[in-house]
Amino acid sequence: MVRTFCIANRKGGVGKTTTAVSLAAGLAKSGARVLLADLDPQCNATSGLGGEPQPKHPIAVGEPFADFLFQTNVPNLQLLPGCRSFASIEALTQDNPEQTKRIHEQLQQESEPYQFVLFDCPPSMGHLTQLALSASTEVLIPIQCEFFAMEGLVQMIEVIKKIMDAKPEKLEFGGVLLTMYDAGLDLTYEVEEQVRDFFGEIVFKTVIPRDAAVSEAPSHGLPVFDYAPRSRGARAYTELCMEILGDD
């Protein structure tokens, strides 16, 4: 069965897109068929993989995704590009249960050829993130190791739990990921302790170090594995993939 990850955090700049792109590429390199759907109007995942933002978002138009899919440099990884204007899709889903149902059904149907589908979400818990959550089997929360890391988490979890309760199919906490981990800073350990105390076992053992190679890769349209295969960032994302695949 397809595993669908919603990569969400209402905070901006915590490593959602970086994680979505790296995880999608890593899973594809392990041999799985992977789809990354860009749901963020910033379209960072789209440009980071060398794709082109679309004039209308593919999930808003109601036509087959095949017309929009972009084959990335990674053989098994396809991208459903994003759109910079999301007015159409917000309008479509807002208080319109029929349209929301249509999109939801399409997302489920179009996920079938893949083993993994990942949604890169905007930094909010609004309609788009909720749509992705309702179409997902797992929610993955990247948390940046910084002073305000825990702020707003309780409200975010409330939204996630509400969707979990309303949804007939299973949605689980697929994991909490510590990103931009700087082993030279006391603050990093303080944040790690707080996050592990709060979330317990669902925090991944793997942490993602702060690494320039990770931040440079998207400007070359490449995942970190292809841009800097020996970097610490590439190694950490490989470990994360193994943890997710249960091979660690």
Ligand X SMILES: Nc1ncnc2c1ncn2[C@@H]1O[C@H](COP(=O)(O)OP(=O)(O)OP(=O)(O)O)[C@@H](O)[C@H]1O
User: Which of these segments, 59-67, 157-165, 193-201, 208-216, binds ligand X (CB under 6 A)?
Assistant: 208-216
- Closest to ligand X by CB, 28 or 45: 45
At 113, the amino acid letter reads P
Query: 3-class DSSP state for residue 18?
Result: helix
Contact yes or no for 58/88 (Cβ under 8 A): no
Contacting residues for 64 by C-beta, under 8 A, at least 6 apart? 110
> Any contact of residue 10 with ligand X (CB under 6 A)?
no
Contacting residues for 190 by C-beta, under 8 A, at least 6 apart? none
| Nearest of 186, 135, 129 to residue 155 by alpha carbon | 129
Please state the closest distance from residue 212 (CB atom) to ligand X, in A. Answer: 6
Choose from Mg ion, ligand X, none: what does 3 bind? Cβ within 5-8 Å by kind.
none
Please state the closest distance from residue 165 (CB atom) to ligand X, in A. Answer: 26
- Closest to ligand X by CB, 110 or 125: 125
Contact yes or no for 5/116 (Cβ under 8 A): yes
x/- mask, ligand X, residues 221-240, rule CB under 6 A, reads ------------x-------
Number of residues that bind ligand X (CB under 6 A): 19
Given the rule CB under 5 A, which residues bind Mg ion? 16-17, 44
Tokens of 61: 């138009």
Choose from ligand X, Mg ion, none: what does 215 bind? Cβ within 5-8 Å by kind.
ligand X
Q: Which of 215, 221, 235, 242 binds ligand X (CB under 6 A)?
A: 215
> Any contact of residue 14 with ligand X (CB under 6 A)?
yes
| Nearest of 91, 7, 27 to residue 57 by alpha carbon | 91
> Any contact of residue 42 with ligand X (CB under 6 A)?
yes
x/- mask, ligand X, residues 119-138, rule CB under 6 A, reads ----x---------------
Q: Which of 3, 5, 8, 15 binds ligand X (CB under 6 A)?
A: 15
Helix ranges, the chain (H): 16-29, 44-48, 58-61, 87-93, 97-111, 127-134, 153-166, 186-199, 212-216, 224-227, 232-245
> Any contact of residue 38 with ligand X (CB under 6 A)?
no
